[in-house]
Amino acid sequence: TLPTTLNGNTMLLITMDTASEVENDCKVNKVGHSHSHDSWPLCLVEISLDVDADRDGQVERNNPNKGSWMWGPNGHGAILLVNCDSERTYGKSICEMSDLKDMSPMVLRTSGPAKLPAGYKLTMHISQGDAESVRVFRTRSTSFVKDYPLVLGSEDLSKEVPYLGGNAEMNFYVEGLRFPDIDFEGLISISLSLLEPSSQGFPETPIFTDRVVFRVAPWIMTPNTLNPVEVFICSTSDNYQFLKGMKRLVENSGYKLKVCHEYMNRGDRWMQDEIEFGYIDSPHQRFPVVLDSPRDGELQDFPYDVLLGPDFGYVTRTAYDEEVSSLDSFGNLEVSPPVIVNGKIYPLGRIIIGVAFPTATKGRNMTKVVQDFLWAQKVQEPIALFSDWLLVGHVDEFMTFVPAADKKGFRLLLASPDAGYKLFRGLQKDGHGQAKMFDGLGAEEEITVDEILSDDKLRAENNYVQSCIDWNRDVLKRELGLDDDDIIDLPILFHVMEENRAVAYYPDMVNMIVLGKNLGIPKPFGPKVDGRCALEAEMTSLMEGLGLSCTYIDDFASYHKLLGEVHCGSNVRREPFSFKWWNLEM
């Protein structure tokens, strides 16, 4: 009961323990001076728009943190997947029931009378800015069938939703439409308001709003230290030797091999350059997603026509106003294993790309649309290396990572002309100066150790290459928190071609495929000592110390002569990280 002595600035907060069972079943009395009683009817309705804000895979009731998003193991906020697999919905309703598991559940929970007081209604709404990034569907049951009509999207920013009455739950399914990017941080909010009628001729006004926040899951790359699932290579008219070696390696390693045949690849053998495998993850669903490069060679249809499928997503970035260069191929896109740098933990590793040297005025770079996309994912903060000194220009031509049981759990392998010259000088000193490179590949290819060491031009070219690699070595040590003991130098020489850009002088052993403890390495055709290739012997010795097994694959004619190697011609889909990206401390 309220006294009449309240002044005009008083605000009353009236609470009730339970929701109304029938309309206007409660009232507030006002006591007048004449002891006559006036009263106002009250109807209490409990409304809660709920999501999986604690990230345990279940939609809890009215989590106090559901309206904000925070990183970390003690963080909160729901997670949304981009529905980028082949089941994704294009129309005004969901056609594939399997599509529901790719969407994030959202539940409207209400408690109250069988119907709202006259003129009151519930409305769900999103902002204009979020409309291109999200769609919301709801469950609707009829006497014959259950369907899932579209509630919110780019054409419907606001829509009335039914009030079911009593203690009820209505299920919604939220679909992400785009990945984080330079113009989209990845956060989306959805609101539900209770509207009350105004005076006749005026629109309803909100008296209560509940709000939930989602973050769109980032696209995540997988480093060489994660277990392989399947290996992809191309079959062409001239790569039989390569194909045979790769089939044997993959079979012996116990993984699946998928061969893209010539009717699909149309002679484009560079499987690494066309695509990069990654994945997206949430508490309720996870699936692989392939990133399609803007290079668009003859393999351009493969990722969309072959890989895209149920629970296998696809994303690309198109460089409409930019010139696409060789640096846009994904041999120029790698990722490190997890690292700790000056106390900062990168549990998902760091993306590595190659660009022009910082002081270059006319250098080649990876297109801005791809770089913007990679940086916007946030969880694998990229590192830019200098790769434009190479004719092809890919970081995989001078570096890779292999697993190791000690230290940081991996080693960085770097191509090293200095290590190459050291090995050749050692051979010469031991009396093997007449041993021939490229033995068995034809007389026009053969060259002796003595001839290599006496070639001053080649030595000068490799001094330049070594300085380029050393610059990158310093960047990698600083950005990945590495010591010299974490790096292994591989004996690889280069040859400088037009525009002072380099290519590998012999098959580039760092351009390998890593399958667990088994490495598929380009066969270098080095000088033989006692019948064994000296380059293979050195490489095997270095890798055996890490418990890794080396298989040498002949890619000389079908890849090396075309300026690529084993890694360029293959691709590996790997298992995802066990670490959950939302637990990152940002």
Q: Point out the residues that are catalytic.
A: 568
Tokens representing residue 231 in the block: 């290996």
Tokens representing residue 373 in the block: 């996309």
* Other Cβ atoms closer than 10 A to 394: 27
Tokens representing residue 470 in the block: 């050393």
Identify the DSSP state of 311.
T
The residue ranges of DSSP E strands in 373-420, in sequence order, are 383-386, 399-403, 410-416
Contact 244, 252 (CB under 8 A): no
Tokens representing residue 385 in the block: 């290396």
**Residues with Cβ within 8 Å of residue 579, at least 6 apart in sequence:** 338, 347, 348
**Residues with Cβ within 8 Å of residue 454, at least 6 apart in sequence:** none
Tokens representing residue 197 in the block: 């009628």
Measured over all CA atoms, what is the biggest interatomic distance in the chain, rounded to whole angstroms?
122
Instruction: Please report, to the nearest 10 degrees, the dihedral formed by the alpha carbons of residues 6, 8, 10, 11 taken in order.
Output: 120
Contact 114, 22 (CB under 8 A): yes
Contact 106, 151 (CB under 8 A): no
| 289 vs 276: CA distance, rounded Å | 9
Identify the DSSP state of 327.
G
Tokens representing residue 508 in the block: 């580039």
